[in-house]
Amino acid sequence: MNLDPGLLGAHLREHEVTPESAAEVERAGYGTLWLDASPPADLAFAEALLDATTRLVVGTSVVNAWTADAETVAASYHRIVAKHPGRFLLGVGIGHREVHAEYASPYAKLVSYLDALADAGVPSVIAALGPRMLRLARDRTAGTVPCMVTPEHTRRARSVLGAGKLVLPGHFALVEPAPDRARAIARSAPPGTALGVTNYASNLRRLGFTDEDLADGGSDHLIDALVAHGDAPTVARRLLAHRDAGADQVGVYPLGDDPIATLRAVAEPVFALTRAAG
């Protein structure tokens, strides 16, 4: 896969981003803009974001194997990379049983989906959390783009995938110096509202968190592990812990009323800390 995802990725849903704000994200220094929440198979909005920028990689986090036809996705992929070579990264996943009535045999479904993409000559990364999915990412794809994870998960993912594969974790970020207020904001949005999702909860238990941590929107300990909060330099240091654990890129899930402002606020200290570290 011949592209450079950059040090920082910005995770945004379609209602949070426009072609104009994608250009702002690019100017802030982000290497990738991840279009979240199961974009449709035509990938038209991802293409529009690429049209509005010059070097930014656009990725999907993630195309849903249950709802996006693989043949249509493959055709969309080839259309986009012909127009914007080296600037599109297809992320694929299997969604959640709480959302999809058809959810059954998720591993087999994803393998079948990857087979269809491979037959069409389409590379991808997958949203892998558990050991079995991480091994699938290692053996069948260019890497993994997980969310709701900690630097410890990144360390484990790198151990499984080894060198040469992309490890692209996403981490929540909130520029809010007051810890109690930051935790309250986090509990009222993902990650707090996502703790009842089986895939995420199971993975957090594997990382050592307890049922008590997962209850009532998350314990302080869990929220602090999933959300980098504080002033902008503190948030930046927390995000960079994923790089120290083996990530190729740190994806930023911005929390708060103005996600683009949050992305801009944390980018500068991230790059300053990186330069200072040599």
Render pLDDT for 12-28 as a digit per residue (tens, 0 to 9).
999 999 999 999 999 99
Domain contains 226 = yes
* CA dist., res. 113 & res. 161, Å (int): 20
Q: 170 near 9, Cβ under 8 Å?
A: yes
117-172 tens-digit pLDDT: 999 999 999 999 999 999 999 999 999 999 999 999 999 999 999 999 999 999 99
Least confident of 90-99, 144-153, 191-200, 232-241: 90-99
Considering the domain boundaries, does residue 52 fall inside one? Answer: yes
Helix, strand, or coil (residue 41)? coil
176 in a domain, yes or no? yes
Interacting residues of 16 by C-beta distance below 8 A, sequence separation 6+: 259, 260
pTM here? 0.96
CATH of the domain at 81: 3.20.20.30
pLDDT band at 278 (very low <50, low <70, confident <90, very high): confident
Residue span of the structural domain in which 186 resides: 8-276
56 in a structural domain = yes
Show contacts of 99-104: CB within 8 Å, 24+ apart. Answer: 100/64, 100/66, 100/67, 102/66, 103/66
Residue 100 has a pLDDT of 55
Would you state the pLDDT for residue 61? 95
| Residue at 3 is within a domain | no
Rounded CA gap, 149 and 194, in Å?
Answer: 12
User: What pLDDT is stored for residue 97 in this prediction?
Assistant: 62
Q: Yes or no: say if 172 and 185 are a contact pair by the CB < 8 Å rule.
A: no
pLDDT at site 95: 74
- On whether residue 190 sits in a domain, the answer given is yes
Q: What is the number of structural domains in the chain?
A: 1
Share of residues in the chain with pLDDT > 90 (%): 93
- Tokens representing 237 are 């240091």
Q: In this model, does residue 212 exceed pLDDT 60?
A: yes
Give domain status of residue 44, yes or no: yes
User: In this predicted model, what pLDDT tens digit does every residue of 50-108 receive, in sequence order?
Assistant: 999 999 999 999 999 999 999 999 999 999 999 999 999 999 998 766 555 565 788 99
In a domain, 178, yes or no: yes
pLDDT at 105: 83
Distance CA 278, CA 273 (A): 9
